[in-house]
Each structure stands twice: as structure tokens, then as C-alpha cells.
Chain A
Amino acid sequence: MKFQSQKIAYWFFASAMLLLVLQIVYGFIMGFARIGMDGLHEWIPFNTARAVHTNLLVVWLLLGFMGSAYFIIPEESDRELMWPKLAWVQLISFLIVGVVAVIGYHLNYWEGRKFLEIPRALDYLVVVNVLAFIANIGFTIWNGKRYTTTSIVLFFGLFTAALLYLPGMIDFDNQTLDSFYRWWVVHLWVEGVWELIMGALLCYLLIKLTGVDREVVEKWLYVIVGFTFLSGILGTGHHYYYIGAPKYWLMIGGIFSALEPLAFLGMAIYALAMAKKGGRRHPNKTALNWTLGSAIMSFVGAGFLGFAHTLPQVNMYTHGTLVTAMHGHMAFWGAYAMINLAMIAYALPILTGRKLWDNAASSYGFWLSNIGMVGMTGALAVAGITQVNLERRMGLDFLAVQTEIEIHFVGMILAACLFFLGICFYLYNFWRFGLPTDEAASSDVRAAEELPTVS
């Protein structure tokens, strides 16, 4: 670690990990409810568990992105963070908002709009909080000694993510318009600007871990985020097929969302090509595994599985079924959870000055969690396809079909146990690194980390 103010990143990462565990716990509550073990229904009904599960995901991913930004931006700009204390205030207040929201969900206090359940009063606090974050990062870049493409793309991604939160706060009495603008936030985040953030983090990690020349890595970053927006913006149309919006969205959404996998494919090829070009000489193999893993799993989960039900003819029957949950799990895991875990695996040795790069626990963490996630996605796929055929194509009753597919949730829970075990290994390693130290800035970890550039 080069700058003292980068240390704040550790606390963002640690908070993120805590929320990840809580997210998994609520996932288990839902899994058990689906096989009839709903003893918690009185206190945690399904809609509460579901809102907590998805909102904690968003919050921990955002905390990860913020931590990553606080780690990367000082280094890329070659100066200390503008206001380190503001970063602390921002972290703590963000956590308080998150905790209040989660408690509120247990007391039937929410907004009840898929993924944006946070009650309106707290929405405003989120906006203030994110503005503080953007200002801190923005002024650090502005006053920095150098501007890099990586930091500009990262900032652009974070800034537009903040901006796009606003359309979700407009009130409508018309459910169709409500939904229409809600997707401006949700879709343009996860299939738009978050990919920009992911691309920038990927780019940073590839520069650091492979030693390939920055100019080359950053050039392809532009190409890939270019493809992301080219397909992803109009790809929003795949949410507008059947909600009461005009018919032309079927064609536009169909064509452009069918192109979306290309951006992810590009990202996977890009990461693998850079790793091959640079060789695997960096001692932190774990971080490289997570980085390449993220690029590949995001293509499979977001690109391939997303494509599987994005065409209007298919989506007519899969829309509103477990097929969506199947795609959602691996997409978020591959694209956003894994890139955060890669960033954390990369940053921890540098923040703490300990060389726990490669060990059995970190390998188990990587493989078990990924195998578990593949298993969960598989279970959801079988359940989802069966649901589509029985309910949507044959016309059987909803609850009768749910009984038929219950057994796949036993499989899902078993796979989730494997997944959780992997996460436990990852967290064990996280804990072994200990706290960030002031000496880390001058330790030999940094020396080992500097690779000769490959052009």
C-alpha cells in the first residue's frame, strides 16, 4: 500500500463480508421455506427474507465497489484520498441506513418495488451518502498527479450509477410507468454502468497481476465497455416486453439483448488473453484465479444464461418463473460478487503487509464456492424449466407445480451448503490477514507485487 488513506478500503471490505454472510443466511431461510420448512413465517415471511436477501446483495456489492474505489483511486491518481475522514463518515452512515432498512423489512416498512424496497425516507439518505462518496473520489482524481483511463472509467461508472438511482424515485399511479422507470435503475445498473465498474476493476487487476502494458489493457477496456453500452442500453427493452409498454420493445429488446453476451464474451477473452500474454508470474495466484474466474463466470451466468431466456418468444413463457432466479444467481455471482472477491484477495496482502497469497484455504474457498454456485444454478434451472413446462405450457395450477418441483430445492440447499463452506474458507483467510497496518506501506509485499511490464 502506497498511501495511508487506502486503509479505509479494508473496513469497507470487512463490512461487505459481514453482509455477505447475512445474505446467505436469508437465502437459506427462503430455500427451507420452499421445501415446506417455513417455521419462521411468523417473524420472517418470504417477502421479508427475499427483500433482505437481494438488498443485502446490492449493499455489500456497493460497499465492495466503494472500498475498491478507495483503494484504487489514490494509487491511480498518485495522491492521498481527498478527505479520509469523510470516507469513514460515509461508511458508517451507509451501514446505518442498511441496518435500519433491514430491520424495517421485518416490520413491514418498505416500498415494495422489486430490488428497490428501501423506504423513500432512506432513499434520500442513500443519495446524500453516495454524493459524499462521489465527491471524495472525484476530487481525489481531479487533484491527482495523473489521470488514467482506469480511474476515469471507474469514476464514470460510479457517477452514472449514482445518477441512475434517481429515476427510481419518481412516483407513478400507473404500474406500467412505475415498472418502466424502475428498470432504468435496475437494468441500467447491472447490465450497464456496473459493468463499467466491473470492467475498470478487471482492468486494474489485470494490469497489476499480469504485468501487461497499461496502454494495451486500457485500450481493450474501452472496446469492451463500448460493446456493453452498445448492447446493454437498448437491451433494457427485454424488461419491457410484457409490462404494458408498446410492442416495438419486443424487437428492439430482443435484438440488442441478444448482443449482450458479446460484451461478456469479450471480457472473458480479454482477461484470458492478458493473463496468457503476461504469464502467471504474480505471487498472488488467488487474486488471479478470482479475476479470471469472474470474467468466465460472468460470461456463463450473465451472458449465456441471460441469452437463454431473453428472446421474446421464449420469455413469454419464462417471464416471472424460476428461470429468472436461475440466471440471476450466477450472473450476480460471476460478474459482481467474484470481481469484488478478486479485488479483496488482491488488496488484503497489500493492506496488511502479510504474504498469505496462496494456501489451501484460499483454494478451497475459490473452488467450493464456485462449484456450489454451479450446483445451485443447476437446481434452479431444473426447477425453472419444469415450472415453465407444467405451469406455463400445460396450464397446471401454480401450487400443484410448486409441489412437483420441491425436490429440486433440496438439491439447491445442498449446493448452497457447499457454496457457504467455500465462503467460510474465504472468510477464514480474510480473518487470518488481520488488520491493515501503517507499516504495510513500506513492507516488501509491495516490492514483490511490482512486476516488470510486458508490452
Chain B
Amino acid sequence: MLTKLQAKVFFLGGTAVFFGIFLVLSFDTHLKVPNQTNAANITPAVAAGKRIWEENNCMGCHTLFGEGAYYAPELTKTVEIRGKDWLKVFLKDPEAMFPGQRKMVKYNFTEEQIDNTIAFLDWCGKVDLNGFPAKPPLRDKMMAAAPQMAVSSGPAPLKKPVPAVFTTGTCIGCHQIQGQGGAAGALIGAPPLDDVFRRYDRAKLEAWIKDPPSIKKDTKMPKLYGLAVNDAQLNEIVDYLLSLNPETAAATPSAVAPPAAPAPAVQPK
């Protein structure tokens, strides 16, 4: 039978051996992490962003690398999903982007602080996390099983370069247009905008952007008019969306950019 001394030796010996192995592995990890995390890209802005991340306890609601609380979204890939412009507008007034939903503190960050925070999250998104977060394995199966979206009749929308206002106005943070953006929007039902001219006229499109709930009461679309979109930009957006209609474009060729413009390189998703 085991004696007390043997039990003691098992405890002390086992602890020493395994703690030794742990130290050796930790040392190795410490040497390898800079390479795996692109530590060379940790600019002063990234480091400052990390401090902002800590000083406001972002981890108290969000997760990063899957670590934190579970009250708000995982942010490791947020720059890739939403885009920097969307995040810039969002960080100025988080609740404006998600009206009536779960709240986030409005931190009144300066422009520089916002840029640093985004720089930090951008760096995080490029760290090699051994495959985390995994691509949802069932998504493709679900998509295949779902009935195909009703295809609208009529000729296909034109292909034209997307103006910058769609990025700065944060539209492509949710909506896909000309094959760009839309990574986050597909999940919440934000439709692609290429053929939106079939559903809405100028007045309706303007109303959508100015006050989304006036068109659809329970919409998740934030009111970005006044926040990220001014009057001139609003006109530019609506003009562009309507210009994708091949019929009106053919009828009034002088009113819009020539339809013969070369098609932009569509990024396959």
C-alpha cells in the first residue's frame, strides 16, 4: 500500500517535472509569438489602441480572440467584416447604429483615439489564431437548402464603379453593392443594392436613408443621415443607385455616366 512518504514524493516530483515542462514550453512560446502575431506591425497607434481597449474595459462586454464577456460581439475580425469607415462612424455614437437594441457606452473618443482603436483591432484581426474564428460549418448547407431568392425580372443592373460615399457613409458595412462589402449585412437581412431601383423610386430611397423606420418599422438599418451622410452625399447615393437601371440609363444617356464604362473588377466573395 502507498505510504505517506511515497504520496509526498509523487506530489513534489510530479509538480516539479510538469512545472519544468511548462516553463520550457512557455519560453518557446515567448520566442515564437512575435512571429505568429506580426509583432513588427505593432505601431505606436496599435499600442495606444490596446491601452484604450484596456482603459475602457472593452472586454467587459466584448470578446477579442474569444476572450472577454459574452454580452457584445466578438471583435477579432471586425475590421475585415465591417470596414474601417463603418467602425469610425460607429465608435462616435454606437447606439445610433443599433437603435433600440443592446446598448454600448458612448465614449466620446477623439478622432485619434478612434483611429488607434481601429488600428489595434486591425492588427488583432491579422494575428494567426490557429484557425479561430472558424467559418460557420453549417452556413453553406443552410444556404443550399434555402429556397433561392426570387429573381426579379428585367435586364441586369449596370456595372459601374462604386463611389467613395458608399464607404464613408458606411453603406457597404452592411449592404453588398457591385460585389463589394456586405459581410455583416447578409446576416441581418440587409439586401444587396444593385437592383434596388426596381423596388423604390427617388422619393422612397431618400426616405429610407433619412428615416429608415418610416418605410419599415422594425428595420435594423440605422439612421445615418446627419451622422455619416449629409444632403449632398444623400443625393450622390440616390443618383448612383438609380443610375444602375439600364432602362433609364439608355433613355437618358446624357444624365449619367456612359454605360460603356469598363466594368470594375468585381471581388469574388
Contact = CB atoms under 8 A, between A and B. Distances in A.
Interface string A30-68: 100110001001000111101100000000000000000
B7 A399 contact: no
A397 B186 CA distance: 9
Chain B residues touching A, range: 35 or more
A395 B136 contact: yes
A327 to B, nearest CB: 12
Given A176-B127, A243-B67, A51 B60 contact: yes
Contacts of A250: 130
Given A38-B103, A246-B36, A400-B187, A230 B18 contact: yes
Nearest to A242: B132
B7 A320 contact: no
B239 interface: no
Contacts of B72: 46, 398
B37 A47 contact: no
A236 interface: yes
A35 B176 CA distance: 32
Contacts, number: 217
Given A111-B54, A113-B54, A316-B131, A220 B188 contact: no
- Secondary structure at the A interface, as helix, strand, loop or mixed, is helix
Contacts of B47: 173
A174 B65 contact: no
Interface in B66-104: 66-74, 98, 101-103
Interface string B14-39: 11001101100110111011101101
A448 interface: no
A252 B28 CA distance: 14
A244 to B, nearest CB: 4
B57 interface: yes
Given A222-B7, A398-B74, A399-B102, A108 B56 contact: yes
Contacts of B150: none
Given A173-B50, A325-B70, A46 B4 contact: no
B202 to A, nearest CB: 30
Nearest to B184: A397
B64 A175 contact: yes
A46 B101 CA distance: 14
A34 B102 CA distance: 8
Contacts of B244: none
Nearest to A225: B11
B10 A112 contact: no
A222 B4 contact: yes
A245 interface: yes
A387 to B, nearest CB: 8
B60 A244 contact: no
B61 interface: yes
A47 B60 contact: yes
A174 B33 contact: yes
A433 interface: no
Contacts of B21: 233-234
B223 to A, nearest CB: 17
Interface string A104-125: 0100101111100100000000
Interface in A221-253: 222-223, 225-226, 229-230, 233-234, 236, 240-250, 252
A38 B142 CA distance: 34
B2 interface: yes
Contacts of B68: 114, 320
Given A219-B7, A222-B11, A320-B70, A397 B188 contact: yes
Given A112-B56, A243-B66, 4 more contacts: A110-B55, A112-B53, A226-B14, A319-B66
